[in-house]
Each structure stands twice: as C-alpha cells, then as structure tokens.
Homo-oligomer: A and B are copies of this chain.
Amino acid sequence: MGEQLAGMKRTHMCGELTINDVGKNVVVMGWVQRRRDLGGLIFLELRDRTGLIQIVFSEQLSKEAFDKAQHVRNEYVLAASGKVVKRSEENVNPNLETGNIEIYVNEFKILSKAETPPFMVEDRNNVSEAIRLKYRYLDLRRPSMQKILLTRYKITRIVRDFLDKNGFIDIETPLLIKSTPEGARDYLVPSRVQPGKFFALPQSPQIFKQLLMISGFDRYYQIAKCLRDEDLRADRQPEFTQIDMEMSFVEEDDVIALNEKMIARIFKEILDIDLEVPFKRISWQEAMDRFGSDKPDLRFGMELKNLSSIFVDSEFKVFKDAIDNGGSVRAINVKGAASIPRRQLDELVEYVKTYKAKGLVWIQMSDDGPKSQISKFLKEDELTQVLNTMEAEKGDLILIVADRNNMIVYDALGHLRLEMGRRYNLIDENKYEFLWVVDFPLLEYSEEEKRYVAMHHPFTAPKDEDIEMLDKNPGQVRAKAYDIVLNGMEIGGGSIRIHDTELQKKMFKVLGFTDEDAEARFGFLLNAFKYGAPPHGGIAYGLDRLTMILTGTDNIRDVIAFPKTQNACDLMSDAPSEVSKEQLEELHIKVDL
C-alpha cells in the first residue's frame, strides 16, 4: 500500500506555478510523467489536470527523499513538498509551460505505486482504439482527452448560464417512460412489479417538454441523456446527450433569434470567434436545389444547376425519360478538373451509384473543346445551352445526374459536390459557415413502410397556409421546422409544435395510425391539449457533435468519458454481460436465443 496523506495539504496545482512563485514552499501532487537521473540528481515531471512541473531530488536537499525517489517509476502518484526555484538559463525547458522553474523537494510521499502501464500516457501514441477503450482510465489521463472533456464541460456551463439569464429553467424528465415506437428503436426495461410490462428509455424528452409547456413553465431546458437502440454508424452512440429546450408563446423567428445568440456566445467563449448574426436562412427546397443537401456546406460554391428545361423535348432518352417521370437533370461544374484521368471518372460513376444514381454524365472542357461520353446523343444546341447554364470554361469538368426520382439526383450530386470539394481542396477548414434550413417538408413518403412518415417527428406543426393540403396533398405540406447547419453538419434541429388536439389527431391519421393506436400511444398528450395548450416550440442540439466541432475531433468516442464501441459494448467493464437466473426470474423474462 502507498503512504497516507496524513494531513499533508496540496498548495498548488502543477501547471499553475509560475516564475512569480519562486522562493515559495509549495506542496504539489500528481502522477510521474517522466524520470531522468543525472549524477546525484533525480528529475521527475509531475502531472496533474493543469499541466506538468519538474521536481528535483538530490542528496544535499534530503538524503531520505533522494533515496526514496530512486524507486519511483512512471505513473506513480506522489505528494511532494519543496521550494520553487528559477531554472538557470541553459536548463529552461521551452516545451513546458512551467519550464523556467522547478521544485527542490525536501519531503515527499509515494501515495500509490504503478505497474508499467500498457501504453505511455501522452498524446502522441499509436495505441489501437480498442486498447485505449479497455484502459479508458489511462487514456483519459492524456492531456488532449482532458482538454476535450473540459471543453465539453465549458460548453454546458455557457449554455446553462445563457439559458438561465433568458428565463429558462432546467427540469428533469423521466428515464423510465412508456414505449411509443415511432422512429428509432427503443431500449426496453422489464418491469418487476408489473409482470410482462416494460418501460422504454427516452429517445428524447420531446413529449415531456411539451407537457411542461402545457403546464405553464414557459421556458424549459435540459441537458438530457437520450438513448436509441440503433445499429451504430461511426458518429453515433447508443446513449447521447441533447441540449434540449422549449419555449411557450413563440414562433419560429423567436426560437431562431435566441439560439443564434446562444451559439454566437459559445463560439466566442470557446474559440474566441465572432460569428456574424443573424445566420443565413434558406428553405429546404433551395438547399436541395443549390446544394443537393438539407445540410449544405457553404464553405465553397460548386452549386447544382437544373438542366431539365433544356431536355424537355430531347431525343436523348435517359434525360427525357427522367424529366417525363417527374424527375430532373442537374449538374455541377468542377472548376479546373477537366483533365481528370479516365480511371477517376469511372470511380466517380461508381461513387454516385452508392447514392442510387444509375449513372453519371461528364463533359470535360478540354483544350480541344467539350468531350463527353454522350456527345453523339446531344444536339449541338443542347450542349451549348448546358455549357451556358453551367458557365463552363476551358478546364472545367461538368458532372450531370438524371433520374426519375429527384431525391436521387439531389443526393448523388450533393455528395459528389462534397467529394469534389474535398479532392480539389476547396474547403477552408478555418471557416465556420452557419445557416438555418427552414420550411422542411412535414412528411416524406416511406417506400419501405408504404406510408408517409414524419420528417422530424409527429408533433411538428405544419405551416398555417399548408394545413388545408394535409388531406389531399400531404407530401406538399411544409413544416414549421428549422435545422441549424454548420459546415455541412446538422448540429441542431427543432420546430414549432402542434398544440391542438384535432390537428394532432389529423397528423396521426396522415401517418397511418388508427384512432385506437394514436389513443393508446399518445392519448395522454392528446388529452393534455384539451385543457389549454400554449403555442410552443423548441430545439435540440447534439452535445456530442457540438463538442466534436469545437474540439476539432472527428471521433465521437473522444468526446464521451466512457463511450461504447460501434458494437454497443463497453470494453472497459465488459458490458453488457450475462446476469443471474434469479435476476431474470424476478423480472418475469427468459432469454430466448
């Protein structure tokens, strides 16, 4: 066992000591980062949350301390008492914040010994992520990981402070709730008290925050854990954290204006960047038409153009057929990419196929004029019009996608635009381009389920002027929904909600719920609307993603203290795990493999 503190008190954190502390007797505590022996001297770098300080042992200072220091190894935990001394010019370590001072130790304790760790605690190690996650407690000692979690904390502090000053109150909503499957898959929790029944873990506090508005709390927020049992993509976790808020007596502009102020404050305090508000605001339709995406990256141009009008009466069947069947022909112009090798063009064809496009037409603006694999199918006039529309110049590469399904055209060209932007280094990594995408469609048709599903969720209000289309033309109805997009990533989204029983019932009907089904699942919400519900709306941000952006990491596991793998496991504690027969019996369930 290590020694006891026995009344020894820390006076300073390691990284906080400066040249102004020279001459003081101090006590520091921390982990040994590095050890060097030099004749009759032992130098240790001691690490805590704030940084490193060099502590020095010599026989002259204390024979006892010097002898004990012989046994100290990396990651030992020490408490050291001694005097702060200025280093001589030649001994200054410019790589250390505290590199111009050191502590001459006259007494110290070994609070905890350490075996040789499976990897060095330093930022530049080449350890596999699996090993990092298994020894997460060591991985978290690395300064870069400490900094990320500290930044995550700072973001929440700024958010809480901002919302508090704006009249929001933090109210906790329950974790054990009713399962109302619509959207992602619920995590379930068997009830012991009510055999055969289950709770669900919340996918979001959505319904509860609406009920809080109906309860008159006026402005609610919560930094809330949410859970979805989905197959994990690289940037998803089974449990994630939302900055969640809701406001009463507001319309879209109110929510948007308040949130711009909040985001501007976060970016100012964390990155010292002054964002220009208000942010740009474009409709979903415009975002799709210009960028082929509902979360466009505005850091570069290369916008989509619609070529459909050129080919309405074309003899080129592929294009005409797409247009005749409700689709379109659209293109982007990649400046300076005309001389792209044929092999790479073939790769691009494969690339757009992953987004369900059937093919890709290119026009290379070579020195000898435009070259294309479909030259022989196009009339002179058609080609000219295309080049004019695309503002094509020598050296450009025009990439065209046509499909009967407009969403495939958007999706393929939207991704192609991003891919070409990256390949041709058009994206300024230091830019922060915010925008609001508004006027989303309320519904989208699910081919899989053969019915309309809510684009955001079933509680999103339709635009007032579109309500009358709900019956006859639901696909055309726009929503009072807004997403906040940064550099091509959706960082938050919200809407004004339905606050009327009849409208909510109609919405459920359009989504294909029977009255009984709607009542069984959401009856309590429908009931709540009956007793006076204020107009209300809100927004939720993914805190994990926001932290990723603000700390410059592209690994979601780096911003969570104890994350799960993509297989939803905790490699450190080995969860999930088998449980005892007695536990399952008490819950009235059986494993059924």
Chain A residues in the interface with B (C-beta under 8 A) = 1-2, 4-5, 7, 9-10, 13, 29-32, 47-49, 75-77, 79, 111-115, 117, 135-138, 140-141, 146, 149-150, 153, 156-157, 160, 164, 169-179, 181, 185-201, 207-208, 211-212, 214-218, 225, 227, 229, 238-239, 241, 248-251, 254, 464, 499-500, 502-503, 524, 527-535, 560-562, 564, 567-570, 572-580, 583-593
> How far, in Å, is A75 (CB) from chain B's closest CB?
4
Identify whether the interface residues of A are mostly helix, strand, loop, or mixed: loop
Cβ 8 A contact of A191, one of B113, B193, B207, B568: B568
In the assembled complex, 5 residue pairs joining A and B whose CB atoms fall closer than 8 Å, in A order, are A7-B251, A29-B248, A191-B568, A195-B591, A589-B592
> How far, in Å, is A493 (CB) from chain B's closest CB?
21
Cβ 8 A contact of A251, one of B5, B75, B115, B194: B5
> B149, A75: Cβ atoms under 8 Å?
no
> How far, in Å, is A446 (CB) from chain B's closest CB?
17
Instruction: List 7 tightest A-B contacts by C-beta distance, closest first.
Output: A140-B215, A178-B575, A114-B532, A197-B576, A75-B532, A191-B576, A590-B592
> How far, in Å, is A5 (CB) from chain B's closest CB?
5
> B179, A10: Cβ atoms under 8 Å?
no
> A146, B217: Cβ atoms under 8 Å?
yes
> B532, A188: Cβ atoms under 8 Å?
no
> What 15 additional pairs, Cβ within 8 angstroms, besides A77-B533, A189-B201, A590-B591?
A9-B254, A10-B249, A29-B534, A117-B531, A137-B211, A146-B217, A160-B160, A174-B239, A174-B564, A176-B568, A178-B570, A179-B575, A188-B579, A195-B591, A590-B592
Cβ 8 A contact of A196, one of B5, B156, B527, B591: B591
> B531, A215: Cβ atoms under 8 Å?
no
Max chain B C-beta neighbours (<10 A), residue from A174, A197, A532? A532
> B75, A178: Cβ atoms under 8 Å?
no
Q: Which residue of B lies closest to A211 (CB)?
A: B137
> A586, B48: Cβ atoms under 8 Å?
no
> How far, in Å, is A253 (CB) from chain B's closest CB?
9
Cβ contacts under 8 Å, A172 to chain B? 225, 241, 560-561
**CA of A502 to CA of B113, assembled, Å:** 12
Cβ contacts under 8 Å, A200 to chain B? 575, 579
**CA of A212 to CA of B31, assembled, Å:** 14
> B535, A499: Cβ atoms under 8 Å?
no
**CA of A79 to CA of B534, assembled, Å:** 10
Q: Which residue of B lies closest to A207 (CB)?
A: B573
**CA of A560 to CA of B2, assembled, Å:** 44
Max chain B C-beta neighbours (<10 A), residue from A111, A198, A502? A198
- Say yes or no: A77-B577 contact (C-beta < 8 A), given A141-B216, A201-B189, A239-B176: no
Cβ 8 A contact of A531, one of B138, B254, B588: B138
**CA of A32 to CA of B583, assembled, Å:** 51
> B75, A188: Cβ atoms under 8 Å?
no
Q: Which residue of B lies closest to A194 (CB)?
A: B576
Cβ 8 A contact of A114, one of B49, B150, B531: B531
> B593, A195: Cβ atoms under 8 Å?
yes
> A214, B593: Cβ atoms under 8 Å?
no
Max chain B C-beta neighbours (<10 A), residue from A114, A197, A241? A197
- Say yes or no: A562-B251 contact (C-beta < 8 A), given A197-B576, A197-B578: no
**CA of A153 to CA of B164, assembled, Å:** 10
Cβ 8 A contact of A208, one of B225, B562, B583: B562
> B137, A194: Cβ atoms under 8 Å?
no
Q: Which residue of B lies closest to A231 (CB)?
A: B193
Cβ contacts under 8 Å, A189 to chain B? 187-189, 201, 576
**CA of A7 to CA of B10, assembled, Å:** 58
Cβ contacts under 8 Å, A218 to chain B? 13, 48-49
> B212, A587: Cβ atoms under 8 Å?
no
> B199, A535: Cβ atoms under 8 Å?
no
> How far, in Å, is A455 (CB) from chain B's closest CB?
22
> How far, in Å, is A531 (CB) from chain B's closest CB?
5
Cβ contacts under 8 Å, A4 to chain B? 464, 535
- Say yes or no: A170-B153 contact (C-beta < 8 A), given A31-B532, A524-B572, A533-B112: yes
> How far, in Å, is A567 (CB) from chain B's closest CB?
6
Cβ 8 A contact of A29, one of B208, B249, B588: B249
> How far, in Å, is A162 (CB) from chain B's closest CB?
13
> How far, in Å, is A266 (CB) from chain B's closest CB?
16
- Say yes or no: A531-B2 contact (C-beta < 8 A), given A179-B583, A188-B190, A576-B197: no
Q: Which residue of B lies closest to A569 (CB)?
A: B194
Cβ 8 A contact of A2, one of B176, B214, B500: B500
Q: Which residue of B lies closest to A251 (CB)?
A: B5
**CA of A577 to CA of B200, assembled, Å:** 9
Q: Which residue of B lies closest to A248 (CB)?
A: B29
